[in-house]
């Protein structure tokens, strides 16, 4: 399967803080060449210039623009799927997965490996910001406004039982703000506390064993850079104590790619403006190209 880098620097679900430079930063550090990707980078047009800081009647920021952008992503990811290309999608913020998961739903039954420090499981009225990056996991599992949860009448884009949430460490904050909890659903939760207690190899084996039992057509990996510890990656907009090491993430990702039918991967939230030495971008490029 051909590797295809996709640049999708949308910040409609967050804000123009620097994450829109994620793709530019990784590509300028040689990601395409080191991956051996021969296809030209696919550039997805964003609507970042229309960004608004005003919450709408549904208490969301940029809902209409995000629906339009997600529909563009839906079409482009669908084409790559049909062409049997493996997309590595470089965000932007986490809301880029809305169009991605809708596209995969249109092609069959797919699961999601969601590596993120945050649950991203707020409903609009629970979010203090109105940012869709607070809500993307809720949206792709069918929770939220129709405009984003039901593109092409495909809600939900992924079933709860086919989601594997890995590395969450914002549970106490989410409870404080009254957010719904993934623990109260069929979502498979492997939070950061588990990684502090249990052996990495055992956790990885449990994820792979359960994921393999579902009989889905494949899995998408969503890698939010804030799943990494702030000690090794402070270049994120919302920092939290704790987090996984690069080595742990590399082990997990390598294991998933070897053992599961992975159909693509997205990388989000790394903010090059906060990478003062440039070393984090280099390490991310090394990790992704080796994988």
Residue 269: give its domain's CATH number.
3.40.800.10
Give the span between the Cα atoms of 135 and 246, in whole angstroms. 25
Average pLDDT over residues 151-166: 98
Predicted confidence (pLDDT) per residue in 99-137, tens digit: 999 999 999 999 999 999 999 999 999 999 999 999 999
Average pLDDT over residues 190-200: 97
> Residue 274's pLDDT is what?
96
Residue 59 CB burial class (10 angstroms; 0-12, 13-18, ≥19): middle
Predicted confidence (pLDDT) per residue in 70-89, tens digit: 999 999 999 999 999 999 99
Average pLDDT over residues 195-212: 97
Q: 116, 121, 143, 119: which is closest to 222 by C-alpha?
A: 116
Count of the separate structural domains present in the chain: 1
User: What rounded mean pLDDT belongs to the chain?
Assistant: 97
What pTM did the predictor assign?
0.97
pLDDT above 90 coverage of the chain, percent? 98
Residue-range definition of the domain harbouring residue 235 = 2-290
Give the span between the Cα atoms of 3 and 85, in whole angstroms. 6
Average pLDDT over residues 17-28: 97
Residue 42 has pLDDT above 90, yes or no: yes
> Residue 60's pLDDT is what?
98
Residue 1 has pLDDT above 90, yes or no: no
Residue 7 has pLDDT above 90, yes or no: yes
Predicted confidence (pLDDT) per residue in 235-259, tens digit: 999 989 999 999 999 999 999 999 9
> Residue 285's pLDDT is what?
98
> Residue 133's pLDDT is what?
97
């Amino acid at each position: 399967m051909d590797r295809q880098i996709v640049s999708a620097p949308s910040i409609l679900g967050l804000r123009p803080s620097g994450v829109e430079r994620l793709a530019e930063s990784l590509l300028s550090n040689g990601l395409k060449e080191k991956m051996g990707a021969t296809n030209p980078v696919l550039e997805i047009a964003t609507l970042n210039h229309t960004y608004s800081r005003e919450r709408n009647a549904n208490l969301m920021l940029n809902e209409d623009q995000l629906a339009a952008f997600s529909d563009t992503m839906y079409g482009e990811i669908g084409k790559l799927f049909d062409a049997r290309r493996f997309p590595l999608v470089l965000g932007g913020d986490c809301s880029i997965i809305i169009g991605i998961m809708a596209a995969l739903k249109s092609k069959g039954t797919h699961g999601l490996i969601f590596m993120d420090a945050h649950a991203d499981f707020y409903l609009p009225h629970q979010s203090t910001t109105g940012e869709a990056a607070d809500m993307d996991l809720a949206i792709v599992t069918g929770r939220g406004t129709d405009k984003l949860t039901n593109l092409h009448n495909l809600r939900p884009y992924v079933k709860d039982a086919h989601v594997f949430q890995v590395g969450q460490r914002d549970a106490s904050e989410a409870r404080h703000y009254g957010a719904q909890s993934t623990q109260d659903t069929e979502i498979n939760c492997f939070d950061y506390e588990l990684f502090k207690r249990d052996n990495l190899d055992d956790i990885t084996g449990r994820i792979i064993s359960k994921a393999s039992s579902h009989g889905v057509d494949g899995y998408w990996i969503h890698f939010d850079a804030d799943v990494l510890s702030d000690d090794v990656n402070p270049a994120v907009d919302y920092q939290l104590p704790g987090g996984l090491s690069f080595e742990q993430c590399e082990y997990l990702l390598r294991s998933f790619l070897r053992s599961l039918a992975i159909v693509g991967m997205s990388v989000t939230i790394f903010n090059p403006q906060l990478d003062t030495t440039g070393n984090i971008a280099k390490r991310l490029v090394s990790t992704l190209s080796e994988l």
